[in-house]
């Protein structure tokens, strides 16, 4: 029970920091997440609210990465398994425990897409100072890939431009 409470407190602090970063300006640049072992950075201006996993109503005849729709704070959102979409692989099987630890990151309402991305975990906020180096997206990378950043421990983080993702044609076509 204490681990659930600690997780709620962490999520609450992270939400407060996100709000503070948005109102104070340039304190943080990205929300750091993990999806199927891949470290990703979402620009704060593109990320919306963070939700715990919830029941998702599946939709027939859609791609494996499109998990379905869910009611998030009174709004109907499409739910996309980001790792499955980026990797273009089959469905990712997750246990109930893994789903309980995962999070849904809604896209910022200014992007005009009622969508939330399933990620496996949160790693907090990052600033430019968190990284030792950066490089442009690899040759042939999807249009929504931004720079690749390397942190002080040598771990690589891929920036995902959520605005470009929300306009990416394969992302918009959920039907098979």
Structural domain boundaries in the chain: 2-172
CA distances in angstroms from 127 to 5, 44, 124, 174, listed in the order given: 27, 10, 10, 33
**Secondary structure string (H, E, C) spanning 37-75:** CEEEEEECCCEEEEEECCCCECCCCECCCEEEEEEECCE
**Residue 28 in this model has a pLDDT that exceeds 90:** no
For the chain, give the percent of residues with pLDDT over 70: 85
Take residue 96 and report the two structure tokens written for it: 């109930």
**pLDDT value for 23:** 55
126 touches 30 (CB < 8 A)? yes
Is the model more confident about 101 or about 15?
Answer: 101
Say how far apart CA 42 and CA 160 lie, in whole Å: 6
> What backbone torsions phi and psi does residue 23 show, to the nearest 5 degrees?
-85, -30
Instruction: Specify the CATH superfamily of domain 2-172.
Output: CheA-289, Domain 4 (2.40.50.180)
- What value does the mean pLDDT take over residues 49-71? 96
Taking only the tens place, the pLDDT of each residue in 88-139 is: 877 788 888 999 999 999 999 999 999 999 999 999 999 999 999 999 998 9
User: For all residues of the chain together, what is the average pLDDT?
Assistant: 89
Q: Does pLDDT of 25 surpass 60?
A: no
The token pair that represents 9 in the structure block: 């407190």
The one-character DSSP state at 130 is G
The predicted model scores a pTM of 0.83
């Amino acid at each position: 029970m204490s681990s659930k409470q600690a997780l709620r407190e962490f999520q609450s602090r992270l939400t407060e920091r996100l709000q503070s970063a948005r109102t104070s300006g340039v304190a943080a640049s990205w929300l750091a997440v993990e999806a199927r072992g891949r470290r990703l950075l979402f620009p704060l201006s593109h990320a919306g609210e963070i939700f715990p996993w919830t029941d998702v109503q599946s939709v027939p005849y859609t791609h494996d990465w499109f998990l379905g729709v869910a009611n998030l704070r009174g709004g109907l959102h499409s739910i996309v398994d980001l790792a499955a979409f980026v990797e273009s692989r089959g469905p990712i099987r997750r246990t109930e425990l893994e789903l309980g630890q995962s999070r849904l990151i809604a896209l910022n309402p200014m992007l005009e897409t009622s969508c939330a991305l399933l990620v496996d975990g949160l790693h907090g906020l990052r600033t430019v100072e968190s990284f030792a180096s950066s490089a442009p997206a690899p040759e042939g990378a999807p249009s929504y890939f931004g720079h690749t950043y390397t942190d002080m421990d040598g771990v690589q983080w891929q920036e995902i431009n959520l605005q470009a993702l929300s306009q990416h044609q394969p992302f918009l076509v959920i039907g098979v």
